[in-house]
Amino acid sequence: MHFSVDTGDKVCYSYISKKRFIREDDHGTISDQRRFYSLRGSKKNQYLFDPSREGCDNICFLDEGIAALTRINDDGEEHIYLYFGEKRLVGFANALVKHFPYDWQRYITPSPFWITAKTNCVYYSMRAKQFESMMDSSPYFTQCVLGATTLNYLELVNKIQWMMDGDKTAQFCKWLLTYCIKKQGKSMIPKAFSFVEVANYLGMHPVTVSRIARKLRETGILAREDGCLIIQDEEKLRAMTMLQNG
């Protein structure tokens, strides 16, 4: 059984697009548009969040592009824990730990993580202190954070379940639907994603991913244009996510 939830991402996007991401005074007017966020961009493989950089405590709302929660292992290889699609609030875990009084020392401190742009990204950024202020002053903003936290949790649970006993075709189809982007009226997977990277993330062999993608192209569900996978029949692709082993 896979979990799904109507997350706060769309709520958060509405919040930002209506300029409610910034503080308003008692009369509902914006007192300082630059105090709480800044619009930034990162090119592919640049960091949105880098714990090795002194003073890095920014929280981001990913407006365009795809990023990933990553860590570098002892052999210098990148390990991807989770992808983040567009309209996603990311990088707020450390701020939440500091914001809520709890005996966090009972738990082992996780290894440092990075948030890396897997494609060119455009995002809104705010500092941890500003994030905490918004958590205290705005139930609406808190709803956004809870929605993003729930989405992260459920996607990680689904990923673990798929890697243990999920149907590989269904697993790959779900990945395609989750991380496709809209461009020129088409749903596509950016050419930045190789079958090797997707296979490593899903716990498959690259040959398996290539074989599934070829079958989806043969049935007309996928097509390839200029090095990108294009979803041509989203309804059929969504039906493929319901496949079960056995």
Written as tens digits, the pLDDT of the chain (246 aa) is 333 334 444 444 444 444 444 433 333 332 333 345 788 888 988 999 888 887 677 888 988 889 999 987 777 778 888 999 888 889 888 888 777 776 666 665 566 789 999 989 999 888 888 888 888 888 888 888 888 899 888 888 888 877 777 788 998 998 899 888 888 888 988 888 888 989 988 888 999 999 999 999 999 999 998 888 999 999 999 998 887 654
CB 98 within 8 A of CB 135: no
Backbone angles phi, psi at 175, to 5 degrees: -60, -45
pLDDT of residue 246: 42
How far is CA 14 from each of CA 17, 114, 167, 245, rounded to the nearest angstrom? 5, 27, 35, 39
Question: Which residues lie below 8 Å from residue 208, measured CB to CB, with a gap of 6+?
Answer: 168, 199
Sequence-ordered list of residues with C-beta below 8 angstroms from that of 63, at least 6 positions apart, any chain: 13, 16, 86, 87, 122, 123, 124
Q: What share of the chain is helix, strand, coil (3-state, %, to 5)?
A: 40, 25, 40
Q: How many residues does the chain have?
A: 246
pLDDT given for residue 141 in this prediction:
84
Q: What is the pLDDT of residue 129?
A: 86
- Which of 119, 54, 126 is closest to 90 using CA atoms? 126
Other Cβ atoms less than 10 A from the Cβ of 70: the count is 18
Strands 222-225 and 228-231: antiparallel
- Per-residue pLDDT of 16-67, as tens digits, reads 444 444 433 333 332 333 345 788 888 988 999 888 887 677 888 988 889 9
Q: What's the order of all strands across the beta sheet hosting 114-117?
A: 47-49, 114-117, 67-72, 78-84
The predicted structure's pLDDT at residue 22: 40
Look up residue 185 and give its DSSP letter: T
In this prediction, residue 7 carries a pLDDT of 41
